Amino acid sequence: MSHRKAVLLMIVVTLLWSTAGVVSRQLDSARSFEVTFWRSAFNALALIVALSVMRGTALWGQLLRAPRQVWISGLCWSVMFTAFMVAITLTKVANVLVTMALGPLITALFSRVFLKHHLPLRTWVAILVATAGIGWMFGHEAGGGDAQSLLGVLVALAVPLSAAVNWTLLQHISHGKGDPEACDVAPIDMLPAVLLGALISALSVLPLAWPFQASVHDLSLLALLGVFQLALPCLLVVRLTRTLPGPAISLLGQLEVLFGVLWAWAWGGEQLSQATLVGGLMVLGALAANEALALRRRSH
């Protein structure tokens, strides 16, 4: 796959990911853990069908014999699936997405710590500015006395943290610590990890989701999320790790913030608070400045 095609596909992935917030606002009676359960369950069902077509009966043997890297990635996916939907039921979509925008910088930091990648000064500055932006938003939520919204932001932090671990692991597996020629072993099939993540997520929240209250309308929307907002884009992004490095995937994934906030404003009836706007501009501004300086340096 060419780099250009990979980037275009990653943009499609972010468009699909960004629909979760606005669709979840259209639910009638399903709440919190039940929303998470049904979305993850439909995701798992779609992945079972898709991977069974791709792998046949060998799929279940692959799951049983999966190496620890697949299980670690599966746990990361499960945290991402679960924390995101729980956070959205506790606070505004914009708060969750702005918090998730820390992903590229955390991924870059993890690449430095675990893969020994060099981080330039501009990236360290961007990490500090973005962290200050999230701190600003935290302070507003805490100072405003909205404990539920603050809890939602804290839960949302689990998403970029687990995503950073996942992208770093996938980059290590796909590129041999950033050098494709350094990887002299057979590549590990990481697609089953997405299925494991969906199954772990659904099973872990099932006791908390009972008794079910979702209407037929809710189930249809959650099925839509499970298949098109999770299963399809997550399978695509695992494939894209063979072409794009972890930090690049994490950075392109921030388009989800822009798309998601736009959908929530246009069709979800959400308004941006001043603290979310300031914090979001600090985070996205730090990301944009970091990448602009990187592009300028490569052009010279």
Residue 59 in this model has a pLDDT that exceeds 50: yes
User: Mean per-residue pLDDT for 71-89?
Assistant: 93
Q: Are the CB atoms for 237 and 15 separated by under 8 Å?
A: no
Non-local CB neighbours of 207 within 8 Å, separated by 6+ positions:
none
Residue from 193, 174, 182, 176 nearest 69 by CA: 193
Over the Cα atoms of the chain, what is R_g? 19
Q: What percent of the chain has pLDDT over 90?
A: 30
Q: Torsion angle of alpha carbons 35, 40, 45, 46, nearest 10°?
A: 100
Q: Which residue has the tokens 């998730």?
A: 100
182 pLDDT exceeds 50? no
Q: Which residue has the higher pLDDT, 215 or 129?
A: 215
Phi and psi at 102, nearest 5°, equal: -70, -10
The encoded tokens of residue 165 equal 């671990």
Distances (CA, A) of 34 to 62, 127, 199, 244: 29, 35, 14, 34
pLDDT tens digits for range 155-173: 999 999 999 999 888 878 8
Most confidently modeled range among 91-100, 107-116, 197-206, 243-252: 197-206
pLDDT category of residue 58 using cuts at 50, 70 and 90? confident
Q: Cis bond leading into 187, ω under 30°? A: no
Position 298 scores a pLDDT of 63
Q: In the numeric block, which tokens belong to residue 176?
A: 């041999």
